[in-house]
A and B are shown apart, each in its own frame.
Chain A
Amino acid sequence: MRLRPALVAGMMVVFGALSAAAQTTPTSPWTGPRTADGQPDVQGQWSKSWEGSRGANFDLEKGIHPDEVTITGRKPEDFPPPRVVQTPDGKIPYQPWARALRAEIEKNFFNPTELVHIDSNARCLQMGIPRQSLDTGFEIVQTPGYLFFLYGYNSASRTIALDGRPHLDDRAKLWQGDSVGRWEGNTLVVSVRNLNEHAWYDAYGNFHSDRLTLEERWVFVSPDVVHYEVVSTDSKVFTQPWMARNEFTRSREKIEQWETSCYEGERNVEHKLGDKAKRP
């Protein structure tokens, strides 16, 4: 359950390079119960809890859902301020060409003419990481050498190998990426590679390329509260690494995840595109 030293050093560099606005939660020793193989036992149902942590179902930079503004008639400034993106101005540090493309996507979002204008998740494609981690609650299950996130929604899941295995070759791209992690005290540190360029950060077109790499810290500050901090590095799209965060709380309730098939009944594409709708 050890990452290669080079990888650990890389993570330290990445977190060290963050701007002053990104306050990371320090790692502490874990004093709670442990699983049979010695991991901090963090199994159970977790839900998004941070006040103002409007996640990836909203525009990550604006913290609002444009439809919500229209429907409620409330002004954008009446909504809780966005708090997920941890940069001084709350903006994702896009390179100029990428900021222009982002604006273009935003425009098409409300008048889609092609499938690629529609939020991939609205088409039942997988959210990808980190969107999945920023947006929805989950169940954690741990077995020796592994930690699993089970999302219920769209049958999605995520496997974190804790055995220090090397990542897949860079040419293999996945929606959820390839995750290798290790425990440091109360913190699950995860390196994510092999992400594709198809998934967005949110429902409104904040994007990355397939060069994106993630360093995640899941800091279990108490047995029932976790701070999630994820640093994105993508030399093709961003000017510098940047951090996003969220918080989740564990419920002691036992909840069963019932089937949420999605694609089998998906009609968003034909509603949005009408006659132009075509199945991939």
Chain B
Amino acid sequence: MSRQTTTVATVATVALSLWCQAAAAQAPLAAGIPRTADGKPDFNGVWQVLNTAAWDLQDHHADTGVPPGAGVVVGGEIPYQPWALERKKQNYANRLTEDTDAKCFLSGVPRLTYMPYPFRIVQNSEKLTFLHEYIHTTRHIYTNGTEHPRGPIEWWLGDSRGRWESDTLVVDVIHFTDQTRFDKAGNFHSEALHVVERLTFIDADHIDYDVTIEDPKVFRRPWKIRMPLYRRIESNPRVLEYDCYAFTDVFRLPS
């Protein structure tokens, strides 16, 4: 990366960081949201997105098996470096065989959050555990002050460490592989991906999910996606199983 690009990226990071801090500082303690015994916002419950980000993060029209949708990228553009834009186009071309969703592999973060399946958040004072219907995936976000383990580590979901900034859960995620993508349209990252998620209650049944994505190997600057998470408000909501590699050639009794 050239010095100029680095400078631009750094300025952008600082600006974004200041914007986030300002946003957090302005946020008053919300009334009417559920809280845990220790006073933190209580995210326990079943949640799901209502959008088409899993197919394509950006504005897109319909295709076979692809619902149309307005994008979730703030500002609309994903700031790929020139080589990476070419790679994204190749990824699009091979999406039906090489994407994790085609192979039933773990989706990575943040993609797992906006897969079109529900997930349950299990929260205590030590951590938040996300139990996803998609391939029975478990994701732990530690909020007990522990640091990321020392790398190099390449995990499908990365390593998530959270902290509370007022009523916002801020999750820092590193230690990724380069094997996951952001969507079925071929948007991708490298193992240098750094994700910062910010979860803030809008009201008792909606969470503002705001994600900053940084990867100096692939993007010219950090960029953001943003979407609401909806609480599944029906009584007895369940997270079942979508084990997508377990539908054929399994043990069956003779009929």
B120 in the interface (beta carbon within 8 A): yes
Min C-beta distance of A255 to chain B, whole Å? 11
Q: Evaluate contact between B136 and A126: CB separation under 8 angstroms.
A: yes
A110 in the interface (beta carbon within 8 A): no
Q: Evaluate contact between B245 and A116: CB separation under 8 angstroms.
A: no
- Residues from 145 to 178 in A contacting B, C-beta threshold 8 Å: 146, 148, 150, 155-157, 159, 161, 163, 165, 168, 172, 174-176, 178
Q: Give A116 to B246 CA distance when docked, in angstroms.
A: 11
In the bound complex, residues from chain B placing their C-beta under 8 Å from that of A178 are: 238
Q: Evaluate contact between B236 and A157: CB separation under 8 angstroms.
A: no
In the bound complex, residues from chain B placing their C-beta under 8 Å from that of A43 are: 124
Which of A144, A148, A197, A278 touches B131 (beta carbons < 8 Å)?
Answer: A148
In the bound complex, residues from chain A placing their C-beta under 8 Å from that of B131 are: 148, 157, 159
Main secondary structure of the interface of A (DSSP, over half): loop
Interface segment among A47-55, A239-247, A259-267: the answer is A259-267
Q: A36-B37, A261-B156 are in contact. Are A176 and B251 (CB under 8 A)?
A: no
In the bound complex, residues from chain B placing their C-beta under 8 Å from that of A120 are: 246, 250-251
Classify chain B's interface size: 35 or more
Q: A116-B252, A141-B129 are in contact. Are A126 and B156 (CB under 8 A)?
A: no
Q: Evaluate contact between A257 and B138: CB separation under 8 angstroms.
A: yes
Q: Evaluate contact between A159 and B250: CB separation under 8 angstroms.
A: no
Q: Evaluate contact between B246 and A280: CB separation under 8 angstroms.
A: yes
Q: Which residue of B lies closest to A197 (CB)?
A: B253
Q: A157-B131, A197-B251 are in contact. Are A264 and B105 (CB under 8 A)?
A: yes
Q: Which residue of B lies closest to A139 (CB)?
A: B129
Contact with A along B100-113 (1 / 0, CB 8 A): 00001110000000
Q: Give A151 to B239 CA distance when docked, in angstroms.
A: 17
Q: Evaluate contact between A114 and B129: CB separation under 8 angstroms.
A: no
Q: Evaluate contact between B138 and A155: CB separation under 8 angstroms.
A: yes
Min C-beta distance of A261 to chain B, whole Å? 5
Q: Which residue of A lies closest to B44 (CB)?
A: A143
Q: Which residue of A lies closest to B241 (CB)?
A: A174
A198 in the interface (beta carbon within 8 A): yes
Which of A148, A256, A259 touches B157 (beta carbons < 8 Å)?
Answer: A259
In the bound complex, residues from chain B placing their C-beta under 8 Å from that of A221 are: none
Q: Evaluate contact between B122 and A143: CB separation under 8 angstroms.
A: yes
Min C-beta distance of A19 to chain B, whole Å? 25
- Residues from 86 to 112 in A contacting B, C-beta threshold 8 Å: 101
Q: Evaluate contact between A200 and B251: CB separation under 8 angstroms.
A: yes
A115 in the interface (beta carbon within 8 A): yes
Q: Evaluate contact between B253 and A159: CB separation under 8 angstroms.
A: no
A57 in the interface (beta carbon within 8 A): no
A58 in the interface (beta carbon within 8 A): no
Q: Give A36 to B253 CA distance when docked, in angstroms.
A: 45
Min C-beta distance of B101 to chain A, whole Å? 13
Q: Evaluate contact between B246 and A174: CB separation under 8 angstroms.
A: no
Footprint of B on A, CB under 8 Å? 36, 43, 101, 114-116, 120, 124-126, 141-144, 146, 148, 150, 155-157, 159, 161, 163, 165, 168, 172, 174-176, 178, 197-200, 207, 209, 236-237, 256-259, 261, 263-264, 278-280
Footprint of A on B, CB under 8 Å? 37, 44, 104-106, 120, 122-124, 129, 131, 135-138, 140, 142, 146, 149, 155-157, 179, 236, 238-241, 243, 245-254
Q: Given contacts A176-B241, A261-B105, A264-B105, could you give 18 more A-B pairs where the C-beta distance is less than 8 Å?
A: A43-B124, A115-B249, A115-B250, A125-B245, A126-B246, A143-B44, A143-B122, A157-B131, A163-B236, A168-B238, A198-B246, A198-B251, A200-B251, A257-B138, A261-B106, A263-B104, A264-B106, A264-B156
10 of the cross-chain contacts (CB-CB < 8 Å) are: A116-B249, A125-B245, A148-B122, A148-B131, A157-B129, A178-B238, A198-B250, A207-B251, A261-B105, A280-B247
Nearest 8 CB-CB pairings of A with B: A115-B249, A198-B250, A280-B248, A259-B155, A155-B138, A165-B236, A280-B249, A264-B105
